[in-house]
Amino acid sequence: MTDLVPHETFQQALSDFAKELVRLRISRGGPSLREISRLTGEHGRNLAASTLSEIFNGVRLPELDSLMSLVRALLAFDTHGAGHVGRNDPRLEEWRTHWKRLKVLQTESGGVSEPSPAEQEPIAGIDEFSAPSPAVLLNMLESQLGKPLSEDEHRLLNALAFPTASPPGGQVDLSRIAETAVACFPESSAGHITSVLRSLIARNFLLTGRDSNYAISDAALRALARRRMP
């Protein structure tokens, strides 16, 4: 990966960075945006194909956790198919370092803002500008909510359901949720953490209770059990 050139503008540096990502994509066999989008969900944060297109074309700088999910997804592609790349893979460090340098340059130059937290892939088949029929909406929601846990959803839900310092399950208050989420995602933005929590609530894995408390649902425990199955 090339280093930033002294006095290089943010836009120039972002364009060069995007080219490095394209080279990585090509070196891994040139997977489609749809394939990459699917695999990013298994590596932290599910990125929509439209978001991936903007990143590869140097339109804007992604958040760090989005970049890590993308790079891990690309590295997972090889001649034997798609595998899995862990968060601590040493190959990620140069990408993380380069992103931090770009972020400094962006801040100094007042460059393009980061994508909003809503980078998640929308529910396929639902037109956001028109109301679907109840049958169509039910079908789409069942398809979306029945998806396996993403890596980030699993990480946070597992930490909440099986805490190390207290009995598993039971009620969890907002204070504990906040502390657990920050511990799970030390490099993630507040927007991303919030999107993961919203997803868990929308999928009825976290149930709202009294006095700002939440409960781990039976569906959540079943989903966690499925992840542990070989």
For the stretch 115-168, pLDDT in tens is 444 444 444 444 444 555 666 656 655 555 556 777 788 888 888 888 765 555
Determine the average pLDDT of the residues in 29-58: 87
| Measured CA distances, 97 to 144, 170, 209, 227 (Å) | 35, 40, 42, 32
CATH of domain 136-228: 1.10.10.10
d(CA 177, CA 134): 33
Torsion angle (degrees, nearest 10) of CA 150, 29, 59, 66: 20
**What is the domain partition of the chain in residue ranges?**
10-109, 136-228
d(CA 217, CA 200): 10
Identify the residue whose tokens are 């190959």.
Answer: 91
What does pTM read for this prediction?
0.54
Q: Which residue has the higher pLDDT, 146 or 89?
A: 89
